[in-house]
Amino acid sequence: MSPSGLGWMIVDSLDTLMIMNLTSELSNSRQWLIEELTYDQDQKVNTFETTIRMLGGLLSAHYLSTQLPHASSRWDYAYLAKATDLADRLLSAYETKSGIPFASVNIGKRKGLPSHSYGGASSTAEATSLQLEMKYLTHLTGNEVYWRKAEHVMKVVDDHRMSDGLLPIFVHPDTGNFRYLEIRLGSRGDSYYGMCCLYASYIRMRLKI
């Protein structure tokens, strides 16, 4: 458990609180977030889970606060400020020889940490499913570093030109090579294919196919 708590459920529930118009609970959460929540803790967290739940929660809260009149004001940057702080710490996971992110990060020390298992390899699904949050943060802040780090991961896996687009479920941060030959459409592989479908839908939408 982290020294001061990270409020996983609070941050992950912000968007639900806004959509359900639970203003009292939202107010308490926002106050806790501003006054208590700090990422300056000697705490190891999973890169993927922290990105999709904590960073994703903050970004969706920021978006909804600009859209829902009861949720907040258009000029409320509390969520975005926290999101930027967290993302800057998560960037240390991408400081690897290949650009494939480490499985974990010490957010206080801003240090990426390889997985204890599988020879330090990262899960393919986890490494490739950080796109939405990082790229949306670039869209909001104008800072391209988040976009580039996330996009580079896709380039590394794409450069392998795997037959039929099927990828093994582990990729090593040091080499960018796949580790083991096991391919799954389920755990450790699934969200990569989900991300590909999302890309395809987005491109079709843009091209109006």
Can you tell me which of 2, 66, 141, 177 binds another protein, judged by CB under 8 A? 2
Backbone angles phi, psi at 171, to 5 degrees: -135, 140
185 sits near another protein (criterion: CB under 8 A): no
- Piece of 14-22, 47-55, 67-75, 131-139 that binds another protein (CB under 8 A): 14-22
Q: Give 41 or 143: the residue with its C-beta nearer to another protein.
A: 41
Partners of residue 168 on adjacent β-strands: 183
Taking the CA atoms of residue 55, residue 57, residue 58 and residue 64 in that order, the dihedral angle to the nearest 10 degrees is 140
Compute CA distances 187 → 67, 190, 192, whole Å.
Answer: 34, 6, 10
Q: Give 5 or 120: the residue with its C-beta nearer to another protein.
A: 5
Q: Give 19 or 162: the residue with its C-beta nearer to another protein.
A: 19
Tally the residues of the chain: 209
Q: Give 11 or 156: the residue with its C-beta nearer to another protein.
A: 11
37 sits near another protein (criterion: CB under 8 A): yes
Please report which helix (H) or strand (E) contains residue 111, including its range: strand 111-113
68 sits near another protein (criterion: CB under 8 A): no
CA angle, 40 then 36 then 25, to 5°: 135
Shortest Cβ distance from residue 30 to another protein (Å)? Answer: 13
Burial of residue 103 (CB within 10 Å: 0-12, 13-18, 19+) is buried
25 sits near another protein (criterion: CB under 8 A): yes
Shortest Cβ distance from residue 87 to another protein (Å)? Answer: 20
Whole-angstrom distance, CA of residue 42 vs CA of residue 107:
7
46 sits near another protein (criterion: CB under 8 A): no
Q: Give 13 or 96: the residue with its C-beta nearer to another protein.
A: 13
Cβ neighbour number for residue 32 with a 10 Å cutoff: 14
Site residues for another protein per CB under 8 A: 1-2, 4-10, 13, 16, 20, 22, 25, 28, 32, 36-37
